[in-house]
Amino acid sequence: MKYSNQNKRVVITGLGVISSLGIGWQEFWKNLIAGKSGISRVTAFDTSPYDRHFAGEVKDFRPEEFLSPKKVRQMGRASQFSVASSKLALEDAKLTYRELKQERSGVIIGTTVGELRLLEEFHDVLRNKTKTVSNNLLSVFPSSSLSATVAQRMKLCGYNSVFTTACASGNYSIGYAYDLIRCGKIDFVLAGGSDSFSRVIFTGFSRLFAMAPEKCQPFDKNRKGMMTGEGAGVLFLETLESAQKRKAKVYAEVLGYGLSCDAHHMTNPSVDGIAKAIKKALSNSKIGPQDVDYISAHGTGTPENDSAECDAIKKVLGDRVKGTPVSSIKSMLGHTMGAASALEAIACCLTIDKGVIAPTINLEEMDPKCAIDCVPNKARKAEVKVALNNSSAFGGNNCCVVFKKI
């Protein structure tokens, strides 16, 4: 296959959100800007055996609004999220799947754990010896179901992939979608991330002693850890030429991205690894530190992550760090795993479009080791022409995506 143009400009024209702060980007954005918290007491399962009881659960999601009852029964929750957010993104782009060229339209979804219901069902069987595992669960267990179900529902026959680079997966998906469109391999892509809440994740982070008791406090001196969460964010990407031709609303342009895999430590982040991803993103986008107006931080609220990320940002921006806003919406959503950087990418697009920066809530005492402008507790009006979206993951997978105002 020959590709006639490898320099196409790629833009975002549709946004789809499933989150603990709302379904659809409008509700999500309204609550982000208001500084509301999506953290609540866990209802998905009994947390009495644990010493933590709060998370960012999506409690108002009704899959029947997006899928037939039969399809709901056949899908895992993460797949339901990915289909619903994809439909919302396509609807926001003012398109139907029938209007897309099937073979020139793709789906790229990122996830940390995919569908874990099968493992949980097996655990229940081993524990109580009475249950049987549903045959349907075997078909939804593979992580590929997150993108496959979207393609099947929308009859999209182009590229179809799932990224499993843990908590940076959403950004990886957007970066790959950007490459596919820019190089002329495909015209339209639904890209993002999805993960559902589970006992497996909750147990894992509990055993790592990484979860805060009731609230996530990124950059706070007394922060106690992250909060687990769930949700999905999907963005609709196309060429600028296509968007202009159909007079579509453009939220932002994807200017470039940078990756690094520092393999520094299984769980602890690397300052150099994070900095390398940011530097590569700037270089790939042909801009410098002086052009950055806002950074959406990975900002998990753990002592190690926040300090390493702040040091990396300082390393790249130098003296400009003092005048560059850096906020973490995980303070409101919790950590939505593979969906995190996708939801944060959507927040970046809306920040550019609306001229408002979402705050870092729950800040009580700034950690002097962080020493950044984290937009504490209240949203801030600001003209943002260039926004960076940072993401990091276990194993040292880092990705930074650059968005620009058109």
Q: Which residues are catalytic?
A: 167, 298, 335
Helices (H), 167-233: 169-182, 199-207
Scan for tokens 């919790």, then name that residue: 334
Would you list the DSSP string of 69-114? HHHHHHS-HHHHHHHHHHHHHHHHTT--GGGS-GGGEEEEEE-SS-
Residues 6+ away with beta carbon under 8 Å from 69: none
Place of tokens 């009495």: 48
Spell out the residues 6+ positions from residue 245 whose beta carbon is closer than 8 angstroms to its own: none
Which DSSP letter does residue 267 get?
Answer: S
Please return the burial class of 365, using the count of CB atoms within 10 Å of its CB with bins 0-12, 13-18 and 19+.
Answer: exposed
| Beta-bridge partner residues of 195 | 231
* 3-class DSSP state of 183: coil
Structure tokens at 32: 């982000």
Q: What is the 3-state secondary structure (H, E, C) of 25-80?
A: HHHHHHHHHCCCCCCEECCCCCCCCCCCCEEECCCCCCHHHCCCHHHHHHCCHHHH
- What DSSP string runs through 291-348? G--EEE----S-HHHHHHHHHHHHHHHGGGGGGSBEE-THHHH-B-GGGHHHHHHHHH
What distance, in Å, lies between the first and last C-alpha atoms of the chain? 31
